Each structure stands twice: as C-alpha cells, then as structure tokens.
Structure 1
Amino acid sequence: MKPADLVISNMGETREEQMQIVLVEETKETSPIPTNENANYHPAVPLVQKWLKIGLYSLFGLSGASVATLLGSFYFEKGGKSKWVAALVQFAGFVILLPFLLISPKRPLTEEGYQRPNKPSAILLTSIYLSFGVFQAGGSLLSIVGLQYLPASTYSLVSASQLAFTALFSFFINAQKLTPFIINSLVVLLISSVLLVVNTSSTGSSVSKGKYILGFLCTVAASASSALMVNLAQLFYRQVLKKATFGVIIKLIIYQSLIASCAMVVGLFASGEWKGLRKEMDDYESGKVSYVMTLVWTAICWQLSSIGSVGLIFSVSSLFSSVITTLTIPIVPVGAAIFLHDKMNGIKVMSLLLAIWGFVSYMYQHYLEDFKSRNETASVAPEDSSNERC
C-alpha cells in the first residue's frame, strides 16, 4: 500500500471512531437508563421532607398554643384584668418575625414547584388582610372572655369544639370529605365539650354561674369563629396566593397581626382600660417583672402558634390544622394542674379521654388516606415508565 493510501485509510478510521464516540455520547444523554445521580433517588425522600415540615409546623402550633393558654390563665389569676391587653398580646408579638423577612426565600414556589406569573392585585390583598385582621380581633376578644371566666383546663376542653366547626365549614367551603371516622371524631369531641357545661357546680372557679355560662358560650363562639377563619384562609391561600414559601407565611402573619393589633390598641384606649394598666402592674401578685415577662412570652408563644397554624393550613388542610390544635387538650389540663393548681375532677377526665378518642379517630382516617395515596402513586409509576420505554 502506498504511503498516501495509508494516510487516507487512517484518516477514515479516525473519523469513524469519532462518529462512534459522538453517537455513544448522544445515546447516553437520551437513554432512559438512569445515571448514578438518578439511581440514588428514592421516592420516599420527598415524603420524608414533607412530614418533617409538617412535624415542625405541628410542634410550633402545639407548643405555642399550650404555653400561651397557660400564661393567659396565669395573667388573670395573678391580678390581670384587662381583656384588651390579653387580646393584644395575641398579635403584638409579630414584631419578632420582621427579621425573617430578610432571610426568607425571594422566589415564590407553588405546590407544583414553579413560579406563577400572575400575582393578585394590591387592592385585593389589602382588603383580604384587613378583613382577616378584624375577624381575628373579634375572635380573640371572645376567647379572652372565655379564658377569663373559665379555668384553663375547662377552656381548653371546650375549645376542642373548633374541630367540629372546622369540619363542618370545610365540607361547605373547601369540599372536605366527611368519612365515618371523621364524623365519629366530631361527635365525640362535641360530647366532650357538652359534658363540661353541666359541671358548673364543681369547676373549682370563684366566678358565678352566670359568668361561667358566659365564658362557655364565648369560648364556643370563638371556636366557631376560628374554624371559619382557617377555612377562609385555606381558600385564600390556595385560590389567590398559590404560594408555599416560608416568607409568604411570615408576611401573612405579620400583616394580619398588624391590623388586629391596631384594632386592639383602639379598643384599649376607647374603653379607658389603659388608665388602669399602671395600677394593674403595681398590684400584680407576682411582681412587675413577672407581669411584663408574662405578657412578653405570651406574645411570643402566640406567634409560634400562628406560624404552625398557617403552615399546616397550606401544607395539609384547615381541618388538619385544627386537629393539631386539639392536641393541646391533654397538655393544657395537665399543665394547669401542675403549675396553676387547677382541679381535675371526674367529668374533666372523662371529657379529656373523649377528646383524645376523637383525635385518634381523625388521625387514623388521615393515615388511611395517606396510605391509599402512596399505593396509587406506586401503581402509576411502573405504568409511566413502561410507556416511556415504548
């Protein structure tokens, strides 16, 4: 073979080898066979992340509401008298959340993981925040009246009726399915609350029977108000905002709390109660420092509870958020008996057991739904992969 032919032959072989290399690389890029990075992916990872987030929000809601309720009862027992101040601290703690606006993610993601181009108008958001803030202020006043006239344990157990109201409103507003387990949960929780209203003679409280009944009715009204609020909030979050970032949750709490705080300040000055705050602090049984720290920590705990509640409303549902709230039922009476020397009689124990039964019944239904959803996802995945191969 001539040298020229040998050179041409080698060039041809080189070109063929290069073309084969290119074809192999293109095949790797388009091949459905997973790479090492995708091979390490496991579908359970997003599920674990989801439940870790739900667990964190639940911890905030549970611990915040429990401690705040006990501190609110402590405030009245030690000489606090202002309903407006007690209601104000439920919202005034929003100032501690302001630094989180600087560190929260700026890119709003939806549940599907992409950013929506259309944002709600400023007028719509302002009107909704204003309505929610005023609505929260009214519900807060009702709950404060209940907490003032009822022992902490009784107040907590009556508040369990919020779950029944939430399920009812969820059915009409957010199309929540009412299964037998959920209906059982609602009936049991209602019985748990009704048992307490017939127990006025052994409440261990110094208030009159009339004030006890007033406190009971106000607590029930506050529970219904909160239930309607969380359902409207779920509808608003998913139909208007459609965002799931931590920053969005913080902004919602700050705006609503700011409006509610303004309403409470107006009520405080309009009622004239602000004139007696100095005397109230001086006469506080535990001292001035205890007076201030009680209000400060109550405000902080309510903000933790708000973060947990709003996070659960968007991450799961308004009904699930109310279920977590009912977990304070076994915590608050025990805490009140230990720290506030509240009495626990047979009726309260029975009401407590019924409330726990109602909570377990609902959680079992949630477990069944989650188990069914995972099985459906697992059955669809192989079909999708087989279609891709075809």
Structure 2
Amino acid sequence: MEIEAQSSATMKKALLVLNCIILSIGNCGVPLIMRLYFVRGGKRIWLLSWLATGGWPIILIPLLITYFYRRRSITDGSTTKLFFIKPRLFAAAAAIGVLTGLDNYLYVYGVARLPVSTSALIIATQLAFMAGFAFLLVKQRFTPYSINAVVLLTVGAAVLGLHTSGDRPDKESNREYLIGFFMTLVAAALYGFVLPMVELTYKKAKQALSYSLVMEIQMVMCLFATAFCTVGMLINKDFQAISREAKEYELGEGKYYVVLVWNAIISQFFFLGAIGVIFCASSLLSGILIAVLLPVIEILAVIFFQEKFQAEKGVALALSIWGFASYFYGELKDSKKKKQVTETEMP
C-alpha cells in the first residue's frame, strides 16, 4: 500500500510538471502571437477572441488516445466510454466557458491596444483577484509568504499604472490606450474569478476526477467560449472579413493563416495547462505560475517587438520577481516542515 501511494504521488508530481511546461508554452506564446497579428495589420478582435478557444477539437486527440488505451487494458469484455462528464459537471463547465469567452474578448481588446510587456504586467494583477476569490470560494490557505507575494505583485502593477501613456504605440490616442488598459485589468479580474471557479467545480463534481475528465471539462469550456465569441463574430461580420484581411496582411496571405492556426494551438496549451495545474495542485499555484512567467514575456517582447523598457516596468518587474521568490520560498519551507513532522510521527 505504501509503495502504491508513493507511486501515485510520483505520477501526480510528474503530471504537475508536465502541465507546468504546457502552461509555460501557452502563457508565453499567446500574447506574443496575438501581438504579431495586430502589429502586422490584423484588426479583428472577435476573431482573435474566437481563436483563443476555437482550437478545442485538438483535445479530442488525447481523449481518443486515452479511450483506446483503456479499451486495450480491459480484458473482461466490459464496455468503455469516450466521455465521463455528467450533466451537472457539463452545465458547470459550460457556464465557466461563457465567462471564459467574455474574458477572451476583454483580454484580446487589451492586447490590441497595449504593448506586450505592459499587458503582461497588468495581467499579473489577476493573482490578487485570484487570491481573494480562492479564499472565498475554495477556502484557500494562505501563509505570510503567499500573502507577501500577492501584495508585491499588486503593488508592481499599480506602479506600472502611474505612467500608462509613456509606452503608447504610435498612432494610438491616449483614450484608446486607457480603454485598453482598463479592459485588460477587467480581464485579469474576471480570469482571477474563473480559475477558482474551476477548482470549486472539481470539488463539487460528485464524481471521480481523472486527467481524462479534466480534458473533457477543458473541451466543454472551450466549446461554449467559442460559441459565445461566434455570436460576436457574426454580429461584427468577421467571417466575411477574413479573406480580405489575409490579402492585406503585411507578412503575406499564407503567413496570415499560419498566425491564426498557431494562435489557436498555443491557446489550447495555455488553457489545458492552467486547469491541469489546478487538478494537480490548486488555482493559486496556477495563478502564481502564470505570473512567474512575466519576466520571460517581458524579455521576449523586447527582443521580438523592440518594445521600450521604461523605469516603471523595471520597478514593477523587480517587485514581481520579489513576490515570486517569496511565494516559492514559503512553499519550500512549508514542504520541509511537513516532511519533518511526517518523519517524527513514523515509528
């Protein structure tokens, strides 16, 4: 029994590491490829919002693989199911999916108006919102170190907001820039609510959770988020505009579609990684990981888009790194303490 427990814990840690990698790829790639779309002539916000979750059929591939694996492993003639999600869990995932669709629109609107480095720093504030909602919804336990991390990240974003117009893109009015700043902040708050809601859904599922079920929840969420954005695309007539925009795209028509396809694929990495980390650990850790990748996004934005790195961003970045270090130091200390208690209790 002890060996089985250790094996299960090892597998869960490996799964956590895998989801952290998937989340890292998505979190760093999404803002960069979205910005590439806009700086090279793309203008369709609803289209990019739709693509954020429009790649949901990709999830069917690993689901089919797990289905055939289960089928091969059963030797007593029992039937297997492709989907395990029950109506109650389906409804919850659908509702969260609609909220995700709205959040996608707010986020994409902000990315269209702001430099990548600025939007990434604002998104870091979602950790503060997430911490609050996690405490209210799932009774998240906080330590002095995690509280310190949340405060430092929030202060860092506030410092950034003291000089919002200094890195405004060319030919963009101050009003458009401020609206983009506000929309991104609202997106951060909404997603700070969505992730704890996913964790709450897991807790209230009333059925055994597996990683296959997590992928099903991801697929349902993305399906309904895509449906929400489809309505926006139809109203805005974005479907009719795609071919015209492709012909006018600065990088060429072929690369236009490549950018759209990769946008959809990388976005799935982000969403699957985020809810996978929640499954293996907690919504707070998922939020911390999203924030901890901020320095990487900052550096990539400066390299690929030659964005300015002003003093405010430097201060905000330093506070963010300090916050990250505080959180992980606290987790490491807590882990060592639990290990010592376990060893003391052993006969």
TM-score by length of 1: 0.80
Contact 1:94 1:257 in 2 (8 A): yes
Q: 1:19 maps to what in 2? A: none
- Give deviations 1:243-262, integer Å, cap 9, x for gaps: 44221121111111111111
Q: 1:102 maps to what in 2? A: 64
Structure 1 vs Structure 2: percent identity of aligned residues? 29
- Pick from 34, 37, 52 the counterpart of residue 75 of structure 1: 37
Residue 353 in 1 paired to residue 318 in 2? yes
Q: 2:81 maps to what in 1? A: none
Residue 175 in 1 paired to residue 139 in 2? yes
Q: 1:31 maps to what in 2? A: none
Contact 1:62 1:327 in 2 (8 A): no
The Cα of 1:46 is off from its aligned counterpart by 5.1
Q: How does 1:80-99 map to 2 (within 5 A)?
A: 80-99=42-61
| Structure number with bigger Rg | 1
- The 3-state SS of whatever aligns with 1:91 is helix
Structure 1: distance between partners of 2:305 and 2:49:
21
Residue 196 in 1 paired to residue 134 in 2? no
- Aligned-pair RMSD on alpha carbons? 2.2
Contact 1:64 1:303 in 2 (8 A): yes
- Pick from 236, 252, 262 the counterpart of residue 271 of structure 1: 236
The Cα of 1:142 is off from its aligned counterpart by 0.7
Show structure 1 runs of 5+ residues with no match: 1-33, 108-119, 383-390
Structure 1: distance between partners of 2:199 and 2:12:
18
Larger mean CA deviation between 170-179 and 283-292 belongs to: 170-179
Q: 1:388 maps to what in 2? A: none
Structure 2: distance between partners of 1:270 and 1:134:
17
Contact 2:32 2:116 in 1 (8 A): yes
Contact 1:185 1:361 in 2 (8 A): yes
TM-score by length of 2: 0.90
Q: 1:377 maps to what in 2? A: 342
Q: 1:58 maps to what in 2? A: 20
Larger mean CA deviation between 165-174 and 193-202 belongs to: 193-202
Larger mean CA deviation between 302-311 and 148-157 belongs to: 302-311
Structure 2: distance between partners of 1:121 and 1:42:
27
The Cα of 1:304 is off from its aligned counterpart by 1.0
Structure 2: distance between partners of 1:77 and 1:227:
28
Q: How does 1:7-156 map to 2 (within 5 A)?
A: 47-104=9-66, 106=70, 122-156=86-120
The Cα of 1:209 is off from its aligned counterpart by 1.6
Deviating beyond 4 angstroms after TM superposition, the runs of 4 or more aligned structure 1 residues are 41-48
The Cα of 1:165 is off from its aligned counterpart by 0.8
Structure 2: distance between partners of 1:141 and 1:66:
18
Q: 1:28 maps to what in 2? A: none
Q: 2:189 maps to what in 1? A: 224
- Pick from 327, 339, 344 the counterpart of residue 304 of structure 2: 339
- Give deviations 1:100-139, integer Å, cap 9, x for gaps: 11222659xxxxxxxxxxxx99442332122111111111
